[in-house]
Amino acid sequence: MIHVRHLSHTFGSYWALKDCTFSLEKGDFLFLSGPSGAGKSTLLRLLYGALPVQRGEASVADMPLHTLKHRQLPALRRKVGVVFQDFKILPIRTVNENIALPLEVRGLAPQQVVRRVRAVARALGLENHLETPCGALSGGEQQRVAIARAFVMNPQVLLADEPTGNLDTHLSFRLMELFKQFQAYGATVIFATHSKELMKRHPQAKILWLEDGAVRDANWPGARILKAPRHREREHGITLPPPDTEGGRL
């Protein structure tokens, strides 16, 4: 369902992602973890086509990203739901409008839109806020709207970038249960988080540990673990040449 091979990404001369290789099957749940700045968001942005693949290969829901044309992006977005770290919801629109947006873009019949928005809002405890403008909600409620908007499309793949970052423990555990339910329906989930507590709540999940942009640990054989850089390389912070030069993979 998700295949990543030798994927690297550079911002200028800074390598945010270094030679990542792993595979996930349909219905897998992956915790993407590692310290701040490790490259988690960069990897997720690559997987939903917000950043171009510069080096290596990746495919998501049978769509190869390294050869993806701009016009194929809407097809990718239909298969991949995303919950951003900073929500990206529309503050002057109501909860109802925000959740319905992706369905309307897709041209669903109005009765279907109403039905699906209500079901997802109920699951996330937002049913009493449907007509509230999102700007008036608390941070935690806004985050739930962002999650509802990703769930409502029923995507094959769900990517979540620290979606419980602003929530209290009780709410983040509840959200975790929803993501697990989503996995039980057959979706493949990648869930970026720092929280060891959350990871303990889902002991069957796969875990990929990123550090300095590289996969430093994983708990299943479908991921390739790279050894930590030698001390001198770590000191200088750059272990790869720029992408337009030949060779030089880690």
Ligand X SMILES: Nc1ncnc2c1ncn2[C@@H]1O[C@H](COP(=O)(O)OP(=O)(O)O)[C@@H](O)[C@H]1O
Closest to ligand X by CB, 57 or 211: 211
The encoded tokens of residue 82 equal 């995303």
Closest to ligand X by CB, 55 or 116: 55
Q: How far is it, in rounded angstroms, from Cα 182 to Cα 97?
A: 22
Closest to ligand X by CB, 2 or 17: 17
Q: Tell me which of ligand X, Mg ion, none is bound by residue 229, counting a contact when its beta carbon lies within the kind-specific cut-off of 5 to 8 angstroms.
A: none
Q: What angle do CA 152, 157, 159 make, to 5 degrees?
A: 85
Closest separation between CB of residue 74 and ligand X, Å? 23
How would you classify the pairing of strands 63-64 and 55-60?
Answer: antiparallel
Q: CA 237 → CA 8, 105, 228, distances in Å?
A: 15, 43, 12
Closest separation between CB of residue 32 and Mg ion, Å? 9
Closest separation between CB of residue 136 and Mg ion, Å? 27
Closest separation between CB of residue 40 and Mg ion, Å? 5
Which one-letter amino acid corresponds to residue 126?
L
Collapsed DSSP state (helix, strand, coil) of residue 23: strand
Task: Pick out residues in 1-60 that bind ligand X (CB under 6 A).
Answer: 11, 14, 16, 34, 36-42
Closest to Mg ion by CB, 43 or 145: 43
CB of 137 within 8 A of CB of 145? yes
Binding site for ligand X (CB under 6 A): 11, 14, 16, 34, 36-42
